[in-house]
Amino acid sequence: MGTKIIGTKIIGLNETESTNAYARNIETNKLENGTIIISQFQTSGRGYNKNSWESEAGKNITCSIILLPEKIKAEDQYVISKFVSLAITDYLSIKGIVAKIKWPNDIYIGDKKIAGILIENSVKGEYIDKTIIGIGININQESFKSDAPNPISLKNITKSEYSISHELEELIRFLNHWYNQVVEDKNGMIDKDYKQKMYRIDELSVFSDNTKKFEGYIKGVNKFGQLMIETTEKEKLLFNFKEVAFLI
């Protein structure tokens, strides 16, 4: 699986506001590449769009990875979301589960969300100098109270109970595997796998772009992470995050 960078240091907490916030607050000179912060409970776990992230104490994986990449250009930053998404879908596949990547940062089983990724990048010049990758994966939680759309957990699907520390170790293996692909610049491999695992790829779907409804097919993402859709009228469209939503 290549060099282990992610998870060489693990900071385990009982409770914190948010593991992303904890990582963000570590002083620059104390940062160690590959550190993972995992907390049993987050008092203010965050999703993207300033949403909250619901996770019962001790039941799920809620962690953040600090990476100090050496050569990811700012314009290529979407590769971070790609490699993490692939690690999570591979991790779920060893549980016998077919998971899909719902652009830009969600992992779905069927039409239900099992995991979310929250990435915070700092850029220095042309390059990403630090990235904090927050990962929430629903593992043992059986019911969800918030109005999050369609949550599901591993236990909901398999009816088994999991050891969170063991599951984290398994996830770390795949994170290192896919991060090594990034470091070794095997982007072709990442792009191919990512496209294959995209939710509703090449399936007729109905979208809304805030002004109108239209029908089309997801064709992949470009190098900037924009979603590529070809409409039924053969028009090729590109969307940034929040510019398009699935209706069906």
> Where are any strands of DSSP class E within 43-194?
61-67, 100-102, 106-109, 112-124, 127-137
- 19 belongs to the binding site for ligand BTN (CB under 6 A): yes
Residues 54-113 that bind ligand BTN (CB under 6 A): 62-64, 105-106
User: At residue 207, what is the residue type?
Assistant: F
Report the nearest approach of ligand BTN to the CB of residue 55 (Å).
Answer: 7
- 16 belongs to the binding site for ligand BTN (CB under 6 A): no
Out of 34, 69, 116, 225, name the contact with ligand BTN by CB under 6 A. 116
- 46 belongs to the binding site for ligand BTN (CB under 6 A): yes
Q: Are 34 and 65 in contact (CB under 8 A)?
A: yes
Instruction: Identify which of 19, 189, 179, 14 has the alpha carbon closest to the alpha carbon of residue 84.
Output: 179
Q: Measured between alpha carbons, how far is 204 from 194 in angstroms, rounded to an integer?
A: 19
User: Which residues lie closer than 8 Å to 5 by C-beta, 6 or more apart?
Assistant: 33, 34, 67, 176, 179, 180, 183
- 20 belongs to the binding site for ligand BTN (CB under 6 A): yes
Report the nearest approach of ligand BTN to the CB of residue 189 (Å).
Answer: 25
- Please say which residue, 174 or 214, places its beta carbon nearer to ligand BTN: 174
- 42 belongs to the binding site for ligand BTN (CB under 6 A): yes
Any bridge partners for residue 121, and if so which? 131
**How far is CA 12 from its chain centroid?**
20
- Please say which residue, 90 or 113, places its beta carbon nearer to ligand BTN: 113
Any bridge partners for residue 41, and if so which? 15
Residues 133-152 that bind ligand BTN (CB under 6 A): 134-136
Report the nearest approach of ligand BTN to the CB of residue 31 (Å).
Answer: 17
- 153 belongs to the binding site for ligand BTN (CB under 6 A): no
Return residues touching ligand BTN (CB under 6 A). Answer: 18-20, 42, 45-48, 51, 53, 62-64, 105-106, 116-118, 134-136
